[in-house]
Chains A and B, each alone.
Chain A
């Protein structure tokens, strides 16, 4: 069973006046089949955690370990991590001019699966996944994320999640900017992947409304660069009512 283990992770970014520590000792274990929600105030380091797991070059790991089934994730390049089964649905997906969605998806699936998917079944697979996410087929011919609305970008991220079937899915605010219908459609997409029981999900969010569709097994409160409290689904309701005040007082993050 696939397990992502994060142990005492410290991460810095290069700021104007030298390196600035953002993650200050994150400990978290995500197993296949589990869903963990991470909630926390703006700027607490949630995206930093997500990007660091995916290997974004902007973030420097200064301490700690991350392993996937015992393999050292931090030693892998960005593409190796993806092929090993780590998937990050980004908070702000990037536009890639001149590269069509269909070319991108196929190139990506070929890389992750280790062989080019058979054309016939692939076309069907993409078509069905797009239908499930209520994406118009014309998106396949558009350039990656170019001119996509916020909601369309998020659907496109989940489309990739469904096609790439990772072991660990990190969803960074996939719910932000979605209207009620889109939230339901996108959540259903995530749930289709979860129902396989093959994926461990790390769901980063500000709002409990997505947790009505995607039921977490664990909820973690993230503040000042680390997990400060963990609990079950009921913790989310507490946060909804009381906010993060209790966790952030006692000094600024710097």
Chain B
């Protein structure tokens, strides 16, 4: 595929030595919203986000009105609880790192805790359905996975909401957790969330973020390692339509020796003022010898007028690592591919579908959950149909 950079996009890459990623943000992590100044938009962590579309989540004016239905369906071996703010299991994975996350932490009333017992190997996924009915909500979700347990959690976001939330994954030693978070919001929704994973010794964490809907979605998946041997795979797929702002900001903090991380995010954009932002911050601290990390972001721009900002950023404080790399590319939809397929009799729309499906194919294979793959393919198909119409 031709890796031409369309007008209005930026693709920067950086490998730095020394400066920690969090030094570039405007305030230290904190549970208290008062510790963060109201962003004005020029801060490093806010510069791509249209603040005026956050509906007051960032400046304290968005008062909770409720209207968010959360339903958890869990197989045996899983405990589901609704707990108070004082529950000791909250806030263990890490502190909020920006104003909206801190606002969510300061404002939620009840939290949901899903616990998977030690050694439990779930045969069915835990399903968390988050359905908005148009109100403003602040949420807090904890998923705890006991040592050597294995679980898949699927979180589905639908309906309309103005939602700020923190999600914590606390993964015990040797445990395996796969989380699929689907943002299938109605068009007006605003969703800002920090997902923090604390990956235990020899534990595996796989995150699949899928963003289709919403007016503004800004997700901040973070990974911290609790012990050596941890492994994190972060996959993402987004389909940004006209007027939508979809932002995925990743941070992987290699603060522990001999851990691995692999990131692959792919997005398709179509329509006027579709805006996708991808930030991949990976920090390899001096202690993190033996680290192996790679991050990739690819964007496929289907029509004129869309904008992509893709910024991988790798900071390395030790030379004793296994590997570290990043790649970022933004390409226009390749008319030569379309011509080739059509020259074999394949009609225009079908050819276009083949190319876009092809673009996402490899990523879908990584997910490893056939029913989710099917659903995503159907969704991609639907998005494409909307664009062809």
Task: Report if A96-B354 is in contact (Cβ < 8 Å); known contacts: A57-B335, A77-B348.
Answer: yes
B106 contacts chain A at the CB level, 8 A cutoff: no
- List, in ascending order, chain B residues with CB within 8 A of A130's CB: none
Contacting pair B337 A164 (CB below 8 A): no
Contacting pair B342 A77 (CB below 8 A): yes
* Nearest CB of B to A112, in Å: 4
B348 nearest CB neighbor, chain A only: A79
- Count chain B residues whose beta carbon lies closer than 8 angstroms to a beta carbon of A: 25
- Count chain A residues whose beta carbon lies closer than 8 angstroms to a beta carbon of B: 30
Instruction: Give 1 or 0 for each of B354-374: 1 = CB within 8 Å of chain A CB.
Output: 110111111000000000000
Task: Point out the residue from A78, A83, A103, A143 that lies within 8 Å of B339, measured CB to CB.
Answer: A78
Task: Report if A98-B343 is in contact (Cβ < 8 Å); known contacts: A79-B348, A79-B351, A107-B350.
Answer: no
Contacting pair A160 B344 (CB below 8 A): yes
B320-359 at interface with A (beta carbon < 8 Å):
334-337, 339-348, 350-351, 354-355, 357-359
Contacting pair B340 A96 (CB below 8 A): yes
Task: Point out the residue from A56, A77, A164 that lies within 8 Å of B344, measured CB to CB.
Answer: A164
* Nearest CB of A to B267, in Å: 15
Contacting pair B359 A79 (CB below 8 A): no
B1 contacts chain A at the CB level, 8 A cutoff: yes
Binds B, one of A13-21, A86-94, A177-185, A233-241: A86-94
CA distance A90 to B340 in the complex (A): 9
A191 contacts chain B at the CB level, 8 A cutoff: no
Contacting pair A98 B358 (CB below 8 A): yes
Contacting pair A94 B347 (CB below 8 A): no
* Nearest CB of B to A224, in Å: 26
A104 contacts chain B at the CB level, 8 A cutoff: yes
- List, in ascending order, chain B residues with CB within 8 A of A96's CB: 337, 340-341, 354-355, 358
Q: Which of A57, A83, A97 has the most CB of B within 10 A?
A: A97
Task: Point out the residue from A56, A79, A94, A144 that lies within 8 Å of B345, measured CB to CB.
Answer: A79
* Nearest CB of B to A108, in Å: 4
CA distance A94 to B340 in the complex (A): 6
Instruction: Give 1 or 0 for each of A138-179: 1 = CB within 8 Å of chain B CB.
Output: 000001100000000000000010001000000000000000
- List, in ascending order, chain A residues with CB within 8 A of B345's CB: 79, 82-83, 108, 111-112, 164
Contacting pair B355 A99 (CB below 8 A): yes
Task: Point out the residue from A56, A88, A98 that lies within 8 Å of B361, measured CB to CB.
Answer: A98
Footprint of A on B, CB under 8 Å? 1, 334-337, 339-348, 350-351, 354-355, 357-362
Which 3 pairs from chain A and chain B are nearest by CB?
A98-B358, A98-B361, A111-B345
Interchain residue pairs with CB less than 8 A apart (20):
A57-B335, A57-B339, A77-B348, A78-B342, A82-B346, A93-B340, A94-B336, A94-B339, A95-B337, A97-B359, A98-B355, A98-B357, A98-B358, A98-B362, A99-B361, A107-B350, A111-B345, A112-B344, A112-B345, A164-B345
